[in-house]
Structure 1
Amino acid sequence: MMADSSEVINNTYNTRQDLLAERIIRGNIYGNDYEVLAETVTNKDGTESRRYPYDSLFVHIVGQFSQGKTGIELSENFPLLTSNTNAFSQFLEDIAGDKIAGDNVVTTLDVSLQQIAADALGDRKGAVVVLEPDTGKILAMVSKPDYNPNTVSEKWEELKEDVQNESALMNRAAQGLYPPGSTFKLVTALEYMREYGDYSKYEYNCEGLDDFSGIKIRCYNEKHHGMVDLKLSLAKSCNTSFANIGSKLDLKSFRNTCNSLLFNTKLPTSIVTNRSHFVLDEHSDEEEVPQTAIGQGKTQITPLHNAMIVAAIANGGNLMRPYVVDRVETSKKKIVKKNVPSIYGALMTAEEAQVLTEYMQAVVEEGTAAELKNSKYTAAGKTGSAEYNSSKSSHAWFVGFAPAEDPKIVVSVIVEGAGTGSQYAVPIAKQLFEQYLT
């Protein structure tokens, strides 16, 4: 590799950056409609500073500059410190003693969706991810709590000290690890479908409480769902039924399916992420199985990863690589580099994706996401209430897409410690669907 490569220059500690900054004005970062998300301004004393017009709104995905670069400010550091304007223009600026305008980064981020996601989440901790299933374009990524990148230097010590409590510096959307709760039932259902060709004949009589390998599993409020098939089990988010399903699975195969869905591996994206965890295997204790099958136990997932699994379902089984940089342009809007959608691979067959889509539509039509029913669009989704401590406090989840018959938008929402997904996460998704589709 050449010592002059962008990977080396992008290193925070490389002095080449300083040399480039002396000659080039750091480029702007734009939204998908050329809204300025980050820009360099020259102060009265001739010094330069980075300005973020939307304050905290994009801080976790766009990043910040002054206290160790993060987000796009870090991943696109080299392009932002490079100028591809024509040589003659650069010559004239050099002669005049002026600095050269660096290249600009145009993102896939939709300002209106980002604002709605942030407003809907409000002051609650959590995260929202919005993407296009057929391209992988990330349209919005919100993490709360947040902070203002314009004042990060003044607040830095306070932010660092608070990292154990609020963790405002962490991008929860890509790095936060949570029990998936009932959203994981999509994975359990997929595994059951793969192992049992007659899955449509599955039946279970839910009485609200059942015992599996000495572990008592309860449905929410011990509700009796009665006789359910696989579709209705998902629609009603029946814990006892899915614990029963888990008891019938081959655990080695289950782990292989989870690994193929990108658990325990790096996600195919340039965004800094944490790896989701699935630890169940053929050597695990029996009592771990029912909890894992309903999305509890030791399983952990990031909101971005959850969005990607659902995006594959929405896209006929194929996962597109998520990306947030659409293109790099000169200051005159000449395209230097254009990112195009690229397929990662098939996470499931088209037939499996179609069945899961039908089941997720049932969640809306006759199940726990009924608030999305009777909208101007059709929706498919899965709610979740993920217990995370001994007092049974729950994170509220929703993952889904719309329109169900021709998916344009995927949403992943988690609200920390809120309660049920149907009450706290679904309304956020509904606002995003309505903004984008109506």
Structure 2
Amino acid sequence: MNTPVRRLALVVFAMFTALLLATTWIQFVQADDLRDRAGNRRTLIENYSRDRGAILVDGNPIASSEPTDDELEWLRRYQQPSRYAHVTGYYSFTYGAGLGLERAEDSLLAGTDDSLFYQRLSDVVTGRPASGASLELTIDPDVQAAAVEALGDRRGAAVALDPRTGEILAMVSRPSFDPNALSSHRLSAVDEAYTALIEDPAAPLTNRAIGGDLYPPGSTFKLVVAAAALESGEYEPDTELEGGLTYTLPGTETTLPNFGGAACDPEDRPTLAESVQVSCNTSFAWLAGELGADAIREQAEAFGFGEPLDVPMSVTPSIYPDTLDDAQLALTGIGQFEVRVTPLQVAMISAAIANDGVLMTPYLIEEVRNSDLEVIESAEPRTRSRAVSSQTAAELTDMMELVVEQGSGQSAALPGVQVAGKTGTAEYGDSGAAHAWFTGFAPADDPQIAVAVIVESATDNWTGETGGQVAAPVARAMLDAGVER
């Protein structure tokens, strides 16, 4: 073989080898990545060849798939969309599985999860069309409806838990959106709807119940501070605290007043129980300084602050700040400065108190069923922590009952039912605007439901709505719907 032919042969051999290696790399090493890459039209169309599993509440679908005659064989449809949008999320050809359970449990709903391997194998053998698993939720439709109707058009969120198990009975975020607009097969209309949603300053795609920009808890955080005091062994419900008309923040000339400028006690010495009942700012600011940041932080963490949580949607951890001077520490005693929470976290505080001091792990999915309706996964209640002792839980419950019976939470009272609760009015920003809170549980002597409600200030020009005025009635509606009589 002469030299030119030999060189040409070597070049051809090298090119063939490179082609073989590239093909092997693409087909075997990069196959999964290429298949899952956003915008892979073949994969997207393949996803629509399967009947995506339903999402069920009390056995009724709130998300399901309908057969079509177009290229995308199934159309995702949402029932009562505004009521459940942040629970279900959306499933879109253009934007994929977004938000809620559609994203968190995409593999189960799509039928590609490892737990469905034998179902897929059976489908292949029998020739049955492939389908995803269905999810039965823990949501109580009556409690969910009560929260939606009571919140109305106001921005905010509401959460309800079964304190005995951790089941999420309601999860509502306002404003809401229609996931049907994003699941449509009219892709130009989908683009318009999505653009409008992400450009909306009210952020309707944000699930305020578990994430987004976290809220200052205001006076609902006094439950954590009171718990830390009782758990320290140095305070009892009848221990007198310093609680004058105002409190000067340590190291400053700034004075902290009580809400409305009222005295907490004629002698300026309210007890711990009285301080909870009347939501005394000055006594809790003083108490925070006496307890110290470490004790309050430890108690907050016992209630779940700072810990990751999936329900199965990822929940943004609530925050108690790490570094505090004395003035900032005093402000955390009333749930201000940089204390930040989700409504779910606030509901967890009440749920732990209601459950004899034991915090259960919140969860949203009761059962997972395959296409034959066989249960392949079933939730089991799990203890997350002992937040407080039984005695502390009982003492806090008594204090919270007084809030509803004689204090700021009377709008949450139910005829013939003992309700325990705590109001909150949480300032944010620099304008003096405030959000309204209520958290509590019922019946106080045999808890079945624990709730947290936040109603956002409609504007930066707060007009004086308190937790007792606007959040407690929402909580009342939810408690009324969730209590078995």
Show the counterpart of 2:475. Answer: 429
Number of aligned residue pairs? 424
Show the counterpart of 1:265. Answer: 307
Show the counterpart of 2:259. Answer: 220
Which of the numbers 239, 251, 254 marks the counterpart of 2:296? 254
Greater Cα shift, 85-94 or 116-125: 85-94
The structural deviation recorded for 1:314 is 0.9
Which of the numbers 175, 187, 195 marks the counterpart of 1:157? 195
The answer on 1:343 being equivalent to 2:380 is: no
Q: 1:278 to 1:87 in 2, by over 3 A?
A: closer
Show the counterpart of 1:41. Answer: 66
- One-letter code of the match for 2:376? V
C-alpha separation in 2, matches of 1:297 and 1:252: 16
CA contact (8 A) 2:414 2:480 kept: no
CA contact (8 A) 2:50 2:131 kept: yes
Q: 1:204 to 1:349 in 2, by over 3 A?
A: closer
The structural deviation recorded for 1:203 is 1.6
Show the counterpart of 2:144. Answer: 114
- One-letter code of the match for 2:434? S
Q: 1:133 to 1:211 in 2, by over 3 A?
A: same
The answer on 1:365 being equivalent to 2:405 is: yes
> Within 5 Å, which residues of 2 pair with 1:165-204?
165-176=201-212, 177-204=214-241
- One-letter code of the match for 1:429? A
Q: 1:131 to 1:17 in 2, by over 3 A?
A: farther
The structural deviation recorded for 1:174 is 0.1
Report SS of the residue matched to 1:73: helix
When the two chains are superposed, the root-mean-square deviation of aligned CA atoms in Å is 2.6
Which of the numbers 19, 25, 41 marks the counterpart of 2:51? 25
* TM-score (norm: length of structure 1): 0.90
CA contact (8 A) 1:180 1:384 kept: yes
Q: 1:88 to 1:181 in 2, by over 3 A?
A: closer
Structure 2 segments unaligned to the other structure (5+ residues): 1-27, 183-189, 459-464
Q: 1:246 to 1:102 in 2, by over 3 A?
A: closer
C-alpha separation in 2, matches of 1:299 and 1:21: 43
C-alpha separation in 1, matches of 2:307 and 2:137: 26
The answer on 1:74 being equivalent to 2:103 is: yes
C-alpha separation in 2, matches of 1:136 and 1:380: 18
The structural deviation recorded for 1:172 is 0.3
- One-letter code of the match for 1:223? A
Q: 1:198 to 1:189 in 2, by over 3 A?
A: closer
Report SS of the residue matched to 2:452: strand
The structural deviation recorded for 1:321 is 1.0
C-alpha separation in 1, matches of 2:152 and 2:330: 34
- One-letter code of the match for 1:435? A
* TM-score (norm: length of structure 2): 0.81
- One-letter code of the match for 1:168? P
- One-letter code of the match for 1:261? F
Show the counterpart of 1:331. Answer: 371
Q: 1:28 to 1:277 in 2, by over 3 A?
A: same
Show the counterpart of 1:58. Answer: 84
C-alpha separation in 2, matches of 1:89 and 1:187: 53
C-alpha separation in 2, matches of 1:166 and 1:242: 33
- One-letter code of the match for 2:206? M
C-alpha separation in 1, matches of 2:211 and 2:447: 26
CA contact (8 A) 2:153 2:174 kept: yes
Show the counterpart of 2:176. Answer: 146
CA contact (8 A) 1:267 1:305 kept: no
C-alpha separation in 1, matches of 2:319 and 2:133: 38
CA contact (8 A) 1:127 1:143 kept: yes
The structural deviation recorded for 1:107 is 1.0
C-alpha separation in 2, matches of 1:43 and 1:380: 51
Show the counterpart of 1:232. Answer: 274
> Within 5 Å, which residues of 2 pair with 1:292-303?
292-303=332-343
The structural deviation recorded for 1:41 is 1.1
- One-letter code of the match for 1:427? P
C-alpha separation in 2, matches of 1:309 and 1:14: 43
Show the counterpart of 1:416. Answer: 456
C-alpha separation in 1, matches of 2:47 and 2:120: 19
C-alpha separation in 1, matches of 2:86 and 2:476: 23
The structural deviation recorded for 1:205 is 6.1
Structure 1 segments unaligned to the other structure (5+ residues): none
CA contact (8 A) 1:146 1:169 kept: yes
The structural deviation recorded for 1:88 is 6.1
Greater Cα shift, 174-183 or 108-117: 108-117
Report SS of the residue matched to 2:347: helix
C-alpha separation in 2, matches of 1:64 and 1:268: 18
Map Cα deviations across residues 234-292 of structure 1 (whole Å, 9 max, x no partner). Answer: 010011111121221132222222233322231364222212111155xx221112211
| Higher Cα radius of gyration | 2
Report SS of the residue matched to 2:209: helix
CA contact (8 A) 2:246 2:257 kept: yes
CA contact (8 A) 1:377 1:403 kept: yes
Show the counterpart of 1:400. Answer: 440
CA contact (8 A) 2:143 2:169 kept: yes
Map Cα deviations across residues 304-330 of structure 1 (whole Å, 9 max, x no partner). Answer: 111112111111111111111111112
Q: 1:127 to 1:359 in 2, by over 3 A?
A: same
Report SS of the residue matched to 1:327: strand
C-alpha separation in 1, matches of 2:36 and 2:433: 41
CA contact (8 A) 1:10 1:78 kept: no
C-alpha separation in 2, matches of 1:399 and 1:90: 51
